[in-house]
Amino acid sequence: MPVLPGAEPYRHQGGDAGVLLCHGFTGSPQSLRPWARYLAARDVTVALPLLPGHGTRWEDMQPTCWQDWYAEVDRELRALRERCSRVFVAGLSMGGALALRLAARHGEAVDGVIVVNPANKVHGLSAYALPVARHLVRTTRGIASDIAKPGAAELGYDRVPLHAAHSLRRFFRLVDGELPRVTQPLLLLRSPQDHVVPPADSARILGRVSSTDVTEILLEQSYHVATLDHDAERIFEESASFIGRLAPGAVREPEPGLGKEGATTGG
C-alpha cells in the first residue's frame, strides 16, 4: 500500500550528534517533520522513521503489534550510533514511550531523552474491555488531530484497530516496569489541555524514572499534538537547547535562507 503524501520517513545527515524522533500511535512522521527539519537546519543528524502499519490505511495496522514498532526504532537507534558519537531519543505520545524504552534498554548508548505528551497507559473502561472487544469489533474512532491551532491537522488514521490497541496496552505496561532503568537527562514537555493523554501519564513517568537531570515544561497553548500546535516553536527551541547543553557545539545556528524549519534534505 503506498505511503500517504506527507507520511514519508525523514532523514538528514548532519553533524556528530544525532536525534531519533518517534511518532505516535496511528500517526505518522508528518506530526514531527517540522521538528525534524528545525534540528536538521542546526546541523543535527536526524532519523524520523515511519512505524510499521502506519502512514497508509488503518487496515495495514491491524496485524501489527508493539514488537514491530519497537523493532523499527531500535534499528534506527543502532544505525545512528554507528555514525554519531552522541545520540538522543525523542517522541510524541506513544513515541515518547518508545523513546523511554530505548533509553532504558540501551543505557549509556543514549545521551538524553525528550518526550512530548508521553503516553503511559490506555485509559478508561474501554482499556479493560480490549482483550475481549478486539475479537468482536475491529476498530473504534480515531484519536488524531487533537490540536488547538486553527487550520493545523495531523495526518493520522480516523479509526483505531483494536488488535493494535490491545498490543499498545501491553507495551505501556512493559515500559512502565522499565522506567526505573531510565537514568539519562530527561526533558518532558506536556500540555495541561490534552484530550488524548491525561496529566497522570507524565506524572507517573516523572515519578518512576531514575534520572536526576529532569526538566518539565508546560505547553499552555497546545493540545496533544503539540508539535503542530501553538507551542511547536518552543518545543523545537527547548530541545535544541537541551541537546546543545549535553553535547556542546553540536547545535549550530542555521545558514541564512534555511528559515525556521530549516533543511530541505530528507524525505
Candidates 224, 229, 230, 239; catalytic one? 224
Annotation-wise, does 94 bind a ligand?
yes
| Residue in 150, 158, 238 with CA at minimum distance from that of residue 190 | 238
To the query of whether residue 93 is one of the catalytic residues in this protein, the response is yes
- Give the phi and the psi of residue 197 in degrees, each rounded to 5: -120, 120
Is 242 annotated as ligand-binding?
no
- Whole-number Å distance between alpha carbons of 11 and 31: 15
Q: Which of 93, 167, 222, 239 is catalytic?
A: 93
Is 163 among the catalytic positions? no
Question: Catalytic residue among 43, 111, 194, 201, which?
Answer: 194
Active site residues: 93, 194, 224
Known binding-site positions: 25, 94
Please state the residue numbers annotated as binding site for substrate.
25, 94
